[in-house]
Amino acid sequence: MCKIAFLYPGQGAQQAGMGADFYENGSLAKSFLDKAEGCLDFHLKEVCFRKDERLNKTEYTQPAMVSVCLAMTLELTARGVKPDITAGLSLGEYAAVAAAGAFNSLDAVRLARKRGILMQNTVPEGEGGMCAILGMETEAAEKILREMEGVSIANYNCPGQIVITGKKESVKAAAERLKTAGAKRTVPLNVSGPFHSPLLVPAGEELKKEIEKISVHPLEVPYVANVTAEKVENADRICGLLSRGVSSPVRWQQSMEYMIADGVDTFVEIGPGRTLTGFLKKINKEVSVYHISTWDDMENIGCRLC
């Protein structure tokens, strides 16, 4: 039997219209998205299903993504496809924790809304920035960044791709230096803040207070945490790991390598876009990777995996 991991993408994968076909075709998805909208202070379906500029604004993006990913998961698991382990990139970790059984799904949506607001507003817009660094050895980039102030690594995505974060001018200077040192490309990211940088420690502290207000249940299956790139089986660790995750690097490549070493051979990316599928193909070409972003994807893949 295969060992299945459910993977959830983070902010940046959102797409206009995401989840609309699940809402139209799936009673479980429809019911959940209606309930999710009811626990939020904005019209979720307007943001997700139409072309709406709010979809790319962090405070709306985050609950929208978690809602859609969990609606898709409900329909997939109802067809008999269950994960042995889960993981999510940055924001996707909230869907992963819910899919692993520790969060009520609506609590995960509420937390994503709080997280989005905190991440958007902790550092004034324009003061922070992020930039993807492509085609450079990670160790070489780390060595250069250790010599610079106000900038650090936000994401270890896959071989040859990291993301840096921090004060806007520091990120710009670091990108230029890394390009000179051999990076093939540097791509500034259109984001509203310096995500996963020490500048967001206050946001993590406030988020921890919000997590402490909800019920955290024993995990039904383990998940792999971004902060440690290791399996979490004790639900008592979740609050600390998620609050640290706001200001700590996302160790995605290391997380995938850990899961593969742990015997995972089948990965299912659930959510809009194919970001995680692309990363996995660069990390390990031997594992099986499936992607679900549409109703047809879900029906076709569900039949093959159950």
Q: Convert the pLDDT of each residue in 50-70 to its tens digit.
A: 999 999 999 999 999 999 999
Closest CA to 237 of 100, 69, 89: 100
Q: Nearest 5°: phi and psi at 134?
A: -115, 140
Kindly state the DSSP code that residue 218 receives in the 8-state scheme: P
Of 1-5, 144-148, 220-224, the one with minimum mean pLDDT is: 1-5
Q: DSSP alpha helices (H): ranges in the chain?
A: 20-25, 27-38, 44-49, 58-78, 92-99, 105-121, 138-146, 168-180, 201-211, 238-245, 252-261, 275-283, 295-305
User: Residue 305 pLDDT > 80, yes or no?
Assistant: no
Please pick, among 67, 90, 152, 243, the residue that the annotation labels catalytic.
90
pLDDT of residue 302: 62
- Comparing CA positions, the residue from 106, 86, 55 lying closest to residue 276 is 86
Give pLDDT, residue 192: 82
Tokens of 112: 């994503």
pLDDT of residue 30 exceeding 80: yes
Determine what percent of the chain is predicted with pLDDT higher than 70: 99
Mean pLDDT (whole number) for 101-105? 98
pTM, two decimal places: 0.97
- The confidence score (pLDDT) of residue 183 equals 97
- In the predicted model, is pLDDT for residue 39 greater than 60? yes
Instruction: Kindly tell me if the per-residue pLDDT of 306 is higher than 60.
Output: no
Domains of the chain: residue spans and CATH: 4-122+198-305 (3.40.366.10), 128-188 (3.30.70.250)
Catalytic residue among 67, 152, 196, 247: 196
196 flagged as catalytic: yes
Alpha carbon separation from 222 to 102, 176, 228, 261 (Å, rounded) = 9, 40, 14, 15
Has residue 18 got a pLDDT over 60? yes
- Residue 167: what residue type? K
Per-residue model confidence as pLDDT tens digits over 110-133? 999 999 999 999 999 889 999 999
To the query of whether residue 90 is one of the catalytic residues in this protein, the response is: yes
